Copies of this chain bind each other. A is one copy, B any other.
Amino acid sequence: MAKRIGGRTVRLDKGIGVVGYGSVVGQKEGSGPLGNLFDEVVDDSKPLDGSWEKSESALQSAALTRALGRAGLNADGVDMIFAGDLLNQCIGSTFGLRSYGIPFAGLFGACSTMALSMMMAAISVESGAAQKAAAVTSSHFCTAERQFRTPLEYGGQRTPTAQWTTTAAGAVVLGVGGRVSVSDICMGKIVDLGQSDANNMGAAMAPAACDTIVSYMRDTGTSPDDYDAVFTGDLGSVGSELLLELVTAEGYTLDSKHLDCGKMIFDIERQDVHAGGSGCGCAASVLCAHILPMLESGRYKNVLFCPTGALMSTTSGQQGESVPGIAHLLHLVSG
């Protein structure tokens, strides 16, 4: 049985771990600092069957296939799959996973989805509802640009605080065992400080990251010094700076421990991505290409993985609403 610790943290009891994982990215991500760590770098210069949405679905499918392969499982060895993406009605996941025949739970957590889906998978295994459960998410530059901002052909100027949606997917299979355990989970609350600039998602999400990370530390009586690293998903350079300030105001010093997947996946200057990478696939692919292998090999002993999401739509933005953020956290342990 899981135990609740403090106000929000849940400590898992069953030795639930990562039994398989996979990452697939596009060319730009493949040319970034982590390029040689991803399982697969696909040619994303043209849309699949004329549809960027199909390209995104194919990324999810490829990442899941890699994860199943590492786990030594067929699709029928997975009892439940938790998946989501940024597209309206999560069609990246639906069409990407349609052919697998795995009982399917769709999620929406924006760019926090990888943590949300892993959390749901872990809880399902903990409860006995699943023996193996998978978590998958994706994003795609071309599907996100035209849905949230402007048509690709328009060639709009990007603001300095804007981030670059990664073309990437990550998939994880959880079960009892595995060399990386999910020790604790901390589900995020919706945090909204009134930021309403849709070109500055980092600033909208930083307060949520602070809220979840600080709540977790308080619940567990730990500090950043107790972890090898604290990963956020895609705060980028603007949001990361804000996070450090906010956490400092709460009495913790995160500075040297903080890493942001959105800053890691691209060489921000050389690749001209302004404030860094973003999208559900950013944290998911960095998790599967860098964080999990580092934990498996013991080079990391324990880390916090805390991707953030901006829970807005173009409609809410057009109606003048601010951008609520959320951040879900997992404590991942080696061995």
Give me the interface of A with B, judged by CB distance under 8 Å.
1-4, 8, 10, 13, 50-51, 53-54, 79-80, 84, 86-91, 94-95, 97-98, 101-110, 116, 119-120, 123-124, 126-131, 147, 185, 187-190, 192, 311-316, 319, 321, 324, 326
What chain B residues lie within 8 Å of A80 (beta carbons)?
Answer: 187
Given the interface pairs A127-B1, A127-B126, the reply to whether A91 lies near B313 with Cβ below 8 Å is yes
The SS class assigned to the A binding surface is mixed
* A8–B206 CA distance with the chains assembled, in angstroms: 39
A51–B2 touching, CB < 8 Å = no
- A91 B311 Cβ-Cβ under 8 A: yes
Q: Is the CB of B324 within 8 A of A103?
A: no
- In the assembled complex, the CB of A284 is this many whole angstroms from the nearest CB of chain B, namely 16
**Shortest Cβ distance from A282 into chain B, in angstroms?**
17
Q: Are A324 and B87 in contact (CB under 8 A)?
A: no
What is the CA–CA distance of A84 and B88 in the complex, to the nearest angstrom?
A: 13
Contact of A123 among B116, B129, B147, B190 (CB under 8 A): B129
- Whether the Cβ atoms of A108 and B127 lie closer than 8 Å is no
Q: How long is the Cα–Cα vector from A50 to B84 in the complex, in angstroms? A: 30
Q: Residue on B with the closest CB to A85?
A: B108
